[in-house]
Structure 1
Amino acid sequence: MLFVFNVPSQCQLSKDLPSSTITARAMRNGGAGMEKALSNQEDLGGDRGMTDDIFDESYCEKEGPKPAKRYVWRNIVLMSLLHLGGLYGLWLIPAAKPVTLAWGFLCFLLSALGVTAGAHRLWSHRSYKAGLPLRIFLAIANSMAFQNDIYEWARDHRVHHKFSETDADPHNATRGFFFSHVGWLLVRKHPDVIEKGRKLDLADLKADKVVMFQRRFYKLSVVAMCFLFPTIVPWCFWGESLRNSFFLPAILRYVVVLNASWLVNSAAHMFGNRPYDRNINPRENRWVTFGALGEGFHNYHHTFPYDYSTSEFGWHYNFTTAFIDLMCLLGLASDRKKVSKETILARKIRTGDGSHKSG
């Protein structure tokens, strides 16, 4: 089973567990153990059976000089060529047929959902359950997004949450906007990222046959879904030129999906308010929310990572939440995890920056 907790009724929002006065969890730093008292257990998602996306306050960055940057020149060259192709695609827009532009937008939505509803909310945070048909669809859509396979994406994202804004964070925003946006893909990972990633419990991902099948055939699936399929459809079905078919629904769409996703790591960690937790970097950023299908409510998400909606506002600017709700309505998904309004308000009062008072 992908999930290690049960919610009795299908497709019914699960409620928070009752508040406990104090909950202790073991924290490890090297070989030493210590306990840290935490109030309001539901802030962590109750007993959902997963803590690898909860910030580890015991982590200490190693003393001494930082490791030297090791550039990945293959990625630098490919990313440069890709974005040049995206700029060329922008120039081609006036020459394309309207149906080709509509197809490109549809491919954008599909590939983005493969990341937001799939790799992120389903597989990284286990915030809802998905049946086999939906998991297959999301895995295919994720290959269209071409942002590493689901297993690797979820592993790195859990490390990002557990060690946010430290050397063990793959796209540590304290290293600057460019690094957190794309630079982290152009250099070798910090050793702590690799070390901490290896220590995570990824048994749920390994047990999911859809995840492991996609991982096994990832390169082939990327060629087929990210590049060939978006190109062939307009070329064959409505006679679009091969040039427009390739540079618009394939290349430009891919560049837009990448940058929309990257803005969650960069802009949403730097610009915006913090109504839920003023002590962390992630912010609420409406522009990122709009472009990333609901992923810009980032202060909320890092405060309550188990919430399937990543927001307290339901469908507001949140296409991904609407999609998951539709899947539940159709019987393809179930067991959405949601934070109670009482818990949200209490957290705003306790640790928020006060911006919630003005709406």
Structure 2
Amino acid sequence: MKFYQKPRGRSTRLIVSIRLELCVSAVFRQATSVIFNFSTFVETLFRNSRMVDETKPAKKREMKWAAILWYIYIHVLGVYAIWFLFTSAKWLTVIYTLFITILGCLGVTAGAHRLWAHRTYEATGFLRLSLMLCHTLAGVGSIYDWVLYHRLHHKYYGTDKDPYNHKKGFFYSHYVGNALSPSIDYDEMKREIDTRDLDQDGYVWLQKKFYWPLFLIFGLILSLNVPLEYWDESMTETILITGVLRFAITVNVSWLVNSARLVWSMEGKKLIQISDTFNLLMPPYSISMFFLTKSFWPVYHYIIPWDWKCGEFGSYASGFTTFFIKVWHDLGFIDLPQTTDTEDIRTMLHDVSKKKMTFANGLDKLKEKSIYKAKEVKLMVKH
């Protein structure tokens, strides 16, 4: 009779741990591969359904030297202002500057991007006025022009007519694209991009008509007067921190709305490469770090831009802007927020695969369904 000793203690735990890691690693590789293939498939359908007319070549873009000098000025002095921020500025100045900077960023993300560019929700007159003034604080131009350029970016995404063409790299998309004139004439741009909703919005018209007086009053005089008047901050700290540094931050946030996909989006074979790298650097079951690093939500935004939950910087149903919209919706100032769910998308893709409709028609049906559900929720809340 032979006796065999069963492994116990650390040996057993080690064997179980190794087998678990190998199993989870294999599952993770398969899952990431499936996600990548599905994303590539959907994005290919999206591009084929949104084919744009490229028969007319894009106009040669020229340098906007006044804008370039302004951007150089605020970036160089903005970096210089950081020294004063930590050495001589008063705490009230720091807190106040942070507060109005956040307001300016919300004017871009919650206002110009989600409300006016993509109409992801409806807002009352009070909130639209507030977001218009917040956008003025950001110092990134009028809402009308910002939305016009952003809609042009979505329509001609990834082509020569895209003012922030991501195929030319992050530096071009984030910096160079904003320093060049548009690839098509302004009048032609207005003919190709539907701006009737902007023309009918009184607050957008007011800001466009009187942008520079509004910017001078709210963006400069009133905002810079607060630290000088109420807690005797010095002129140097006020101009550099509350003025220049604030504009440097809000301008970059505004640019990131168009270039963020190159920072937070998963493209190409990076998905498989990163999953392999993470398997070498950390336990394979720590996949939460992977989802914090990269995501497919920026790709989703270019397919379904009217979903109010999709963040500008790689998040979904989270983030400060999304929280801001949720709060104002609960307070009754936001109405008919549009979104969709997995089941509706799955049904739409199934119909497309069965050739019951084109992908473009499927997206239109999906949007109609989201509007219907938003109105249904509104009626249920009222009753």
**1:20-48 superposed Cα distances (whole Å, 9 cap, x missing partner):** xxxxxxxxxxxxxxxxxxxx9xx99xxxx
Q: 1:298 matched to which residue of 2?
A: 298
Match status 1:141 vs 2:134:
yes
Match status 1:234 vs 2:227:
yes
In the alignment, the residues of structure 1 paired with residue 293 and residue 349 of structure 2 have an alpha-carbon distance, to the nearest angstrom, of: 22
Pairwise CA RMSD of aligned residues? 3.4
Residue 341 (structure 1) shift: 2.9
Task: Work out which of the two has the higher radius of gyration on C-alpha atoms and give 1 or 2.
Answer: 2
Please give the TM-score of this superposition, normalised by the length of structure 2.
Answer: 0.67
Q: 1:216 matched to which residue of 2?
A: 209
Residue 260 (structure 1) shift: 2.4
Q: 2:31 matched to which residue of 1?
A: none
Residue 175 (structure 1) shift: 2.5
Distance 1:274 1:178, change over 3 A: closer
Match status 1:82 vs 2:71:
no
Query: Number of matched residues?
Result: 287
Residue 218 (structure 1) shift: 0.4
In the alignment, the residues of structure 2 paired with residue 334 and residue 309 of structure 1 have an alpha-carbon distance, to the nearest angstrom, of: 14
Residue 106 (structure 1) shift: 0.5
- Unaligned segments of structure 1, at least 5 residues: 1-39, 45-53, 279-283, 290-295, 352-359
Instruction: Give identity over the alignment, percent.
Output: 30
**1:95-137 superposed Cα distances (whole Å, 9 cap, x missing partner):** 1111111111101110011011111111111110000000100
Q: 2:170 matched to which residue of 1?
A: 177
**1:136-189 superposed Cα distances (whole Å, 9 cap, x missing partner):** 000000101122211111111111111111122121122232221121222221
In the alignment, the residues of structure 2 paired with residue 231 and residue 139 of structure 1 have an alpha-carbon distance, to the nearest angstrom, of: 19
Residue 193 (structure 1) shift: 7.6
Contact 1:160–1:171 (8 Å) recurs in 2? yes
1:118-267 to 2 correspondence within 5 Å?
118-191=111-184, 195-267=188-260
Distance 1:344 1:236, change over 3 A: farther
Residue 245 (structure 1) shift: 1.2
- Unaligned segments of structure 2, at least 5 residues: 1-41, 272-289, 354-383
Residue 261 (structure 1) shift: 2.6
Please give the TM-score of this superposition, normalised by the length of structure 1.
Answer: 0.71
Q: 1:333 matched to which residue of 2?
A: 334
**1:283-309 superposed Cα distances (whole Å, 9 cap, x missing partner):** x996899xxxxxx94222112111112
**1:253-300 superposed Cα distances (whole Å, 9 cap, x missing partner):** 11012112323323423553269xx9xxxxx996899xxxxxx94222
SS in structure 2 at match of 1:91: helix
Considering fraction of residues, name the structure with more helix: 2
Contact 1:167–1:192 (8 Å) recurs in 2? no
In the alignment, the residues of structure 1 paired with residue 170 and residue 186 of structure 2 have an alpha-carbon distance, to the nearest angstrom, of: 19
SS in structure 2 at match of 1:191: coil
Contact 1:301–1:310 (8 Å) recurs in 2? yes
In the alignment, the residues of structure 1 paired with residue 244 and residue 144 of structure 2 have an alpha-carbon distance, to the nearest angstrom, of: 24
In the alignment, the residues of structure 1 paired with residue 337 and residue 56 of structure 2 have an alpha-carbon distance, to the nearest angstrom, of: 42
Q: Which amino acid aligns with 2:226?
A: V
In the alignment, the residues of structure 1 paired with residue 294 and residue 85 of structure 2 have an alpha-carbon distance, to the nearest angstrom, of: 23
